[in-house]
Homo-oligomer: A and B are copies of this chain.
Amino acid sequence: MRSERGLLIVLSGPSGVGKGTVRKALFNQEDIQFQYSVSATTRNPREGEVNGVDYFFKMREEFERMIANNELLEWAEFVGNYYGTPIAYVEQTLQQGKDVFLEIEVQGALQVKKAFPEGVFIFLAPPSLSELKSRIVGRGTETEDVIHNRLTVAKEEIEMMDAYDYVVENDEVQLACDRIKAIVVGEHCRRERVAKYYKQMTEVE
């Protein structure tokens, strides 16, 4: 009952929330049906990192050629290095009916959303957000300034969520993984997708 084209699953969230940790834990599980899309970067490999597994390591000129040729689904520059998602792997995998999983920065996720509005966009939220209330109405051990700053950051994070379909709290890595897996199962059951597939079958007539 799978729709013929795979789903594009995008995991993103504020920096430091633990996107990489959740992604690694997810792909260490046996029942994962989706393919991880390896990013390209111009930064140097760290110890133990393998080309084509952790990243596709590229020279600067090579990366800039990919940008010029529209070969990247999204890209950004951080601290003097490029990072991006090669579009070819994503497209091929989706066409084979397999789901593709991206773990990228918020900026990149917004670029992907423009190209693939039908993707499944998951925002990984810091547990500090739901602890907010107890902190604010709590024992008053924090100064007004600390509370005010925390609220400002929280409001920014909540605004970031607007472009996403789901919010998963990273309170515990395994729980976050379970929620992401459930979201993907549920998305495969969404009526728009399934009914479209059934309709195509009845049009055989």
A194 touches B167 (CB 8 A): yes
Size range of the chain A interface in the assembly = 35 or more
Q: Is A116 an interface residue (CB 8 A)?
A: no
Chain A contact residues: helix, strand, loop or mixed: helix
Note all chain B residues with C-beta closer than 8 A to A137.
204
Note all chain B residues with C-beta closer than 8 A to A155.
202
Q: Is A89 an interface residue (CB 8 A)?
A: no
Q: Looking across the interface, which residue of chain B has its beta carbon closest to that of A166?
A: B189
Report Cα–Cα, A123/B193, bound state, in Å: 13
A161 touches B205 (CB 8 A): no
Note all chain B residues with C-beta closer than 8 A to A178.
185
Note all chain B residues with C-beta closer than 8 A to A132.
198, 201-202
A185 touches B191 (CB 8 A): no
Binding site for B on A (CB under 8 A): 1, 122-123, 125, 129-130, 132-133, 136-137, 151, 154-155, 158, 161-162, 164-169, 171, 178-179, 181-183, 185-187, 189-191, 194-195, 198-199, 201-202, 204-205
